[in-house]
Structure 1
Amino acid sequence: MKNPARVAAALAASIVPGIALAQTRCTETTRFDPPLRVLHCADGLSLETERSATLRPIDRDGDGQLEGAEIGGRAVLVTLPPRSRPRKGGFQILTPHAIASVRGTVYAVDVTDAKTAVFVARGHVVVARRNAPGVSVTLAPGEGVDVDGDQGPLDVRRWPQERVRGLLERFGQ
């Protein structure tokens, strides 16, 4: 049986600067140039968010290892080393528009009211519409996709350097 308090805390939590997330075996730190909040987990997972972003860690089974996170706006840079302990079903970032799933990679997710943009710097990421998860695309390094509320096909593109630089500079990359 899942621990309801632990699950509720993980789902309801918005990362608060300076607070250790004991339930998830993750700690949070702040960077100032650029201004970011960084969630570091014991298994090597790192989630860097812009300070105004909301991020809710997801630990469905209460074992302290995140299965995913939900981001409500702004951007998150995800680093998941391939050597980290395997996760059942991989790791997922959930946005209002998309689900981005990985096993080991570095990728960025940028959320606005109109769309979610996913870009892969290293590894591979599977992206699907949140309201139609059965149809997905796989992104390779240098590729990105924009997911909006439409039901049309997802269009994978090699992103121009200006767009990549604009997104990654927000994380000091």
Structure 2
Amino acid sequence: MQVSRSRTFAAVAALFLMTSPAAVAQQDRACTSVTLDDPPRTMIRCPGGLLIEAEATARLQILAPSSGGPPHAVRLDTKAVLIDLKTARPFQIMTPHAIASVRGTVYAVDVGPGTTAVFVAEGQVQVGRRRGPGAVLLGPGEGVDVSPGAPLAVRRWPQERVSRLLSRFGR
């Protein structure tokens, strides 16, 4: 794993909007961002025990309270992120199709055309539709695909699918 560059940032209401690993803007609380080469991704460490790894071409926005404090959400539009949250505090990922809410866990969210996939490596994640009823609770090794009109079905993901997703984050 090679580190190609490092930055320190500060954060408030919209911590940062990222359209590429280099396009980052923040204010107030410090987050640290490092661009990794193999595979290409950005690792972001924020206050409150939050680690976010985003694929190099992921489009996301990290949100924090306007009063300061650690981030409470990520808005993810494309590609995948891996979240490692070791503290017991609310945190969620919002995609066009789903909302994944957690407390102290490791999980991945992958947004594609018309669908969002959520996989849990550790802990528990509640996943619901962005619009409409229905939610499921995922445990370690489980995942769900969220797309319009399809039922939310919790499945134990095959190792091949898990490996394919996690390899995008060097795991």
| TM-score bucket (shorter structure) | 0.7 to 0.9
Give the whole-Å Cα distance in 1 for the aligned partners of 2:53 and 2:29: 16
Which runs of 5 or more residues in structure 2 are unaligned?
Answer: 1-11
How far residue 51 of structure 1 moved from its aligned partner, in angstroms, is: 0.5
- 2:131 maps to what in 1? 131
Matched letter for residue 142 of structure 1: G
- TM superposition shift of 1:61: 3.5
TM-score, normalised with respect to structure 1: 0.84
Change (3 A) 1:19 1:153: closer
The answer to whether the Cα contact below 8 Å between 2:17 and 2:24 also exists between their aligned partners in 1 is no
Indicate the residue corresponding to 1:100 in structure 2: 100
Question: Number of matched residues?
Answer: 160
Q: What is the RMSD computed on CA atoms of the aligned residues?
A: 2.1
Deviations 1:23-48 (A, max 9, x none): 34312110011111111012220110
The TM-score, its normalising length taken from structure 2, stands at: 0.85
2:140 corresponds to: 141
Deviations 1:82-140 (A, max 9, x none): xx2x43xx1000000000000100000000111000000000000000002x5210000
> Could you tell me the percent identity over the aligned residues?
48
In 2, Cα distance between equivalents of 1:147 and 1:18: 29
Name the residue aligned to 2:161: 163
1:107 aligned counterpart, secondary structure: strand
Task: Give yes or no for contact 2:17–2:25 (8 Å, CA) kept in 1.
Answer: no
**Cα distance in structure 2, aligned partners of 1:138 and 1:98:** 13
CA offset at residue 21 of structure 1? 3.5
Measured in 2, the distance between the counterparts of 1:108 and 1:71 equals 12
What residue number does 2:9 align with?
Answer: none
What amino acid maps onto 1:13 in structure 2?
L
Q: 1:114 maps to what in 2?
A: 114
| Number of the residue aligned with 2:18 | 14
Q: Which residue of 1 aligns with 2:3?
A: none
Alignment partner of 1:59 out of 64, 75, 92 = 64
